[in-house]
């Protein structure tokens, strides 16, 4: 009998689970808290793995003797050892397009929330019932501000459209993999030097892919280069930013604020966590990695996840839509969008 394992069961995808069970397969759901030993044990006789956040290591992959494919029901693949999967001729696929507009909307919402001081205002309304227009509550417009995008792929391009056409912001972009003409078509002025771009920005928004080369792309030096009072928004991956340097800059008052939906160490906690002190800061908004989580995006995610699963279960080449070179380097059991 076919066996399927889905990790991160807390992320509910009921149509996926139901459709896979309807094939007659045994579906095993593992929680986010499942350790590497439990995952490796279940994968020993598994045919198909669906994963979102779990760490899929080379050791885990090497012990999965029956594994026919890995479906990341989401975008980022940094937790999967793609090299180990390729060595075993196990195709890996993600679902890169389901939440592009959704996450872009989330990034803009966080920019607005920071600019309008919604976190402390909401607390003031809850505690006192009203807030008078004193200097404490003086907010900022987005219109006329300069936005810097670190990464100008699908989501970054959507943010550029919303910010430029919607709020009349000047949009700058740093992305070595996107040429000047492509950025110009998206309404973005390309910058070749990251630090030089950061010096000009009122808001910096992170949209790069996490790789060994982009880890801590925004470090202490880059944060120091940012304008005093500038804000940082990260809806991509926590490790793109040196979080210790970010915390230091926020506590020193160099930055005007930050809005973070992603963290190197998830889940976040109010104590015993490197970022715990940010909970108490009025100019910091913390979101639990949910900018992707809308009804519309989840329908798209479930639809495409099932398409990829059935391709693998039926022995057909699986469709890879991602442009990520790690996935594009695969040669076995895959086909690519042109």
Catalytic residues: 237, 266, 289
Quick one: which of 297, 328, 314 has its CA closest to 94? 328
Structure tokens belonging to residue 90: 């196990």
Q: Is 2 left (phi over 0), alpha (psi -120 to 50) or beta?
A: beta
Strand 69-72: give its sheet, edge to edge: 26-29, 3-6, 48-51, 69-72, 92-93
d(Cα 26, Cα 144) in Å, to the nearest integer? 56
For residue 221, count other CB atoms closer than 10 A to its CB.
Answer: 12
**Cβ(262)–Cβ(235) below 8 Å:** yes
* Residues in contact with 181: Cβ distance below 8 Å, sequence separation at least 6, in sequence order: none
């Amino acid at each position: 009998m076919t066996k399927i394992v889905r990790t991160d069961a807390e992320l509910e995808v009921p149509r996926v689970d139901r459709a896979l069970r309807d094939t007659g397969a045994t579906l095993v759901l593992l929680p986010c808290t499942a350790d590497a030993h439990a995952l490796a044990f279940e994968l020993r006789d598994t045919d198909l793995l669906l994963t979102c956040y779990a760490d899929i290591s080379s050791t885990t992959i090497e012990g999965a003797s029956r594994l026919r494919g890995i479906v990341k029901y989401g975008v980022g693949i940094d937790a999967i050892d793609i090299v180990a999967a390729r060595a075993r001729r196990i195709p890996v696929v993600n679902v890169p397009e389901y939440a592009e507009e959704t996450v872009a909307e989330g990034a803009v919402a966080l920019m607005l929330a920071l600019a309008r001081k919604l976190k402390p205002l909401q607390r003031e309304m809850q505690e006192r019932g009203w807030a008078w227009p004193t200097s404490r509550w003086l907010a900022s417009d987005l219109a006329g501000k300069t936005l810097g995008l670190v990464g100008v792929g699908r989501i970054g391009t959507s943010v550029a459209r919303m910010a430029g056409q919607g709020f009349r912001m000047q949009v700058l972009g740093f992305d070595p993999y996107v040429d000047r003409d492509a950025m110009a078509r998206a309404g973005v002025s390309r910058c070749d030097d990251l630090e030089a771009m950061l010096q000009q920005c009122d808001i910096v928004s992170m949209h790069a892919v996490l790789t060994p080369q982009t880890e801590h792309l925004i470090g202490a030096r880059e944060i120091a280069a940012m304008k005093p009072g500038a804000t940082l928004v990260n809806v991509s991956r926590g490790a793109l930013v040196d979080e210790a340097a970010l915390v230091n800059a926020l506590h020193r008052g160099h930055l005007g604020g930050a809005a973070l939906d992603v963290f190197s160490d998830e889940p976040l906690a109010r104590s015993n966590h490197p970022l715990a002190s940010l909970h108490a800061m009025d100019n910091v908004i913390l979101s639990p990695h949910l900018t992707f989580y809308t009804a519309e995006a989840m329908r798209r995610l479930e639809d495409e996840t099932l398409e990829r699963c059935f391709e693998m279960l039926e022995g057909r080449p699986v469709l890879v839509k991602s442009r990520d070179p790690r996935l594009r380097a695969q040669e076995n059991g895959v086909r690519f969008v042109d």
